[in-house]
Amino acid sequence: MNPIIQLEHVSFNYQEDQTILALNDVSFTINKGEWIAIIGHNGSGKSTLAKTINGLIMPSEGEITVDGLSLNEENVWKIREKIGMVFQNPDNQFVGSTVEDDVAFGLENQGVPRSEMLVRVSEALEKVRMSDFKTKEPARLSGGQKQRVAIAGVVALSPDVIILDEATSMLDPEGRMEVISTIQKLKKEKELTVISITHDIDEAANANRVLVMKAGQLVQEGTPEEIFSAGEQLVEMGLDLPFPEKLKIELTKLGINLPAEYMSEEGMVEWLWTSSLRK
């Protein structure tokens, strides 16, 4: 195991008089190459957590380490170079008048020479399969395409970690799939660490580990299978229930005994097919 992000007893509050801390004594380690989903109800502290990891806000207590660097005023810029963030609203993320200008923006800010910039922009667009759109206006793209361009802007900067802060929540199912499969592809090509803050069960299902936040605290962690087996409690955790779990609840109400563990859609079909139900 090779840790890339470590939080030790991190707390944060926006206002001194707030009774519930935005982050309350949060500790965890994320290893290089892991895909972590962070779930939890609105206001549970997920976005605050993302902002503390890349130093947009400094914790009032505790210690954050990113790739061996302790997060402090001195290291914050080095740390930000290691972390790329993609936010919820695709329309708020564009600064360029064309797709390629937009992807180039971060590189220009870093003072990357023009010849190298052109190569990195075209490689990044290729990786998210948006090369054909490079001269198009971002505003004319679909939601999924816009988020892929936002991801290209991040990828061009070659980060070690990508944080998706509800990056698929404003997209239709097709757009969500586009974004998730883009991230899966990028992850295969290079050892990328992914942190996805999400309410979407399908997005969380891609994770190696799911962290559950509640009122500023990390209250549970486990594999998607472990977390998804919580059934109806998942809604309390801020996730929509997966279809097989909804079906399971209804069948149980009818007095039918089902396996307690989480069942995928294929698992449920298999179980229904082979169970005594069909007699």
Ligand X SMILES: Nc1ncnc2c1ncn2[C@@H]1O[C@H](COP(=O)(O)OP(=O)(O)OP(=O)(O)O)[C@@H](O)[C@H]1O
Residues in contact with 60: Cβ distance below 8 Å, sequence separation at least 6, in sequence order: 11, 12, 13
**Does residue 47 interact with ligand X by CB under 6 A?**
yes
Dihedral sign computed on CA atoms, order 150, 132, 193, 2: negative
CB of 23 to ligand X, least distance (A): 8
Segment interacting with ligand X (CB under 6 A) among 38-46, 72-80, 150-158, 258-266: 38-46
**Does residue 22 interact with ligand X by CB under 6 A?**
yes
- Residues between 185 and 204 with contacts to ligand X, criterion CB under 6 A: none
CB of 70 to ligand X, least distance (A): 23
**Does residue 40 interact with ligand X by CB under 6 A?**
yes
Q: Which is nearer to ligand X, 48 or 206 (CB)?
A: 48
Q: In this chain, which of 4, 7, 35, 46 binds ligand X, going by CB under 6 A?
A: 46
CB of 40 to ligand X, least distance (A): 5
CB of 218 to ligand X, least distance (A): 12
**Does residue 44 interact with ligand X by CB under 6 A?**
yes
CB of 113 to ligand X, least distance (A): 38
Angle at Cα 116 formed by Cα 115 and Cα 118, nearest 5°?
70
Q: Which DSSP string do the residues of 13-42 spell out, in sequence order?
A: -SSTT-SS-SEEEEEEEEETT-EEEEE--T
Q: For ligand X, how many residues bind (rule: CB under 6 A)?
A: 10
Q: 161 with 3: CB under 8 angstroms?
A: no
| Three-class DSSP category at 170 | coil
d(CA 241, CA 209): 18
What is the 8-class DSSP label of residue 90?
G
Radius of gyration of the chain (CA): 21
Q: Which is nearer to ligand X, 52 or 182 (CB)?
A: 52
- Residues in a beta bridge with 7: 28, 64
**Does residue 59 interact with ligand X by CB under 6 A?**
no
Rounded to 5 degrees, φ, ψ at 134 are -60, -30
Q: Which is nearer to ligand X, 44 or 93 (CB)?
A: 44
Q: In this chain, which of 36, 45, 130, 204 binds ligand X, going by CB under 6 A?
A: 45
Binding site for ligand X (CB under 6 A): 14, 22, 40, 42-48
